[in-house]
Amino acid sequence: MERRQLEYFLAVASHRSFTSAARTLLVAQPSLSHSIRLLERELGTPLFHRLGRGVALTSAGEAFVAPARQIMRDMETARSVVHTIAGLAGGRLDIVAPTTLAVDPLAGLVGVFRRRHPAIDIVIVEPPDVPATAEMVRTGECELGLADKKWGGKAVEALRVCRQEILVVVPRREPFPQAGPVALAEVARLDLVATAPGTATRALMDQALGAKGTRPRIAVETVHQAAVVPLVLAGAGATLLPRSLAEDAARRGAVALTTRPRLTRPVWLMWRRGQLSPAAQAFVDVAREAAGASVCEQRDTAV
């Protein structure tokens, strides 16, 4: 079993198509198909149902996805260990994080890391929902993950990097004092702009504003995180955002206000138990420094 075969298998499993996988990997489709057939022959069972224009994983293929990812991750770790001798002279680090945490604090952490280790490439992906972050770390799909809750049980380790303050962002026409703060009960009565259920921002809003049995009124729901601030600026409703994003919205014409009681949420960096690649370990070290330097104030309400 070769690394290339595992890479091809995971690409086909992800794209559900030999053609799309070959195009993504920049290889000829016949070569990719031949490699998959050899892998199936070696394993003694089909991994895919061929469905004409696409494919679907067989039960054996479904079972093989997690081990294949782990083997690929272990091979990358082994290769990176060798690169450590040359001072992290190459490699790649995959990090999963929801959009709001990717903006802050992940962007800052990546900046520090890249200045120290410019030869390491970083790929940041977004989870389909909140619990998926830990699952993608646990299965080896990504080596590191950021979330506002600790997930994954004993299989995953976590470091609290910081505690974010959450502000309410409203259109300028809303009749609130510019200095704030605004009672959460008042925020709950506003027309709100929110991302879809299952996202970190939506979970934050539902938990913070529904804590006393009040169901927030979601006037506009969007799957596009990038559309939230433009919708607020257009007067479609208010929203909750981490301070850095809220202050950016204020510079664009919205009003960002603190809440009463103040809202905060923790930010956790997670990784799978066991040996990390040198790149991942170096990133964890950067996060530990940031955690030690950050001031995590105690607030009135933590979410």
Q: What is the pLDDT at residue 277? A: 85
Question: pLDDT at position 82, please?
Answer: 65
Read off the pTM: 0.70
CATH assignment of 88-303?
3.40.190.290
Instruction: Tell me the domain boundaries of the chain.
Output: 3-66, 88-303
If phi > 0 it is left, if psi is from -120 to 50 it is alpha, else beta; for residue 294 that is beta
State how far the alpha carbon of 142 is from the alpha carbons of 17, 53, 130, 163, 234, in Å.
Answer: 22, 29, 15, 23, 37
Nearest of 279, 237, 300, 298 to residue 79 by alpha carbon: 279
What pLDDT score does 170 carry?
Answer: 94
Q: Is residue 165's pLDDT more than 70?
A: yes
What whole-number distance in Å separates Cα of residue 50 and Cα of residue 54? 7
Query: Residue range 261-280: average pLDDT?
Result: 91
Q: Using CA atoms, how far apart are residues 97 and 124, in angstroms rounded to an integer?
A: 7
pLDDT band at 147 (very low <50, low <70, confident <90, very high): very high
With DSSP H G I counted as helix, E B as strand and the rest as coil, what are the percentages for the chain, rounded to 5? Answer: 45, 25, 30
How is domain 3-66 classified at the CATH fold level? Arc Repressor Mutant, subunit A (1.10.10)
Q: Facing residues of 125 across strands?
A: 96
Q: What is the mean pLDDT of residues 208-215?
A: 74
Beta bridge mates, 256 = 169
* Percentage of the chain lying above the pLDDT 70 cut: 91
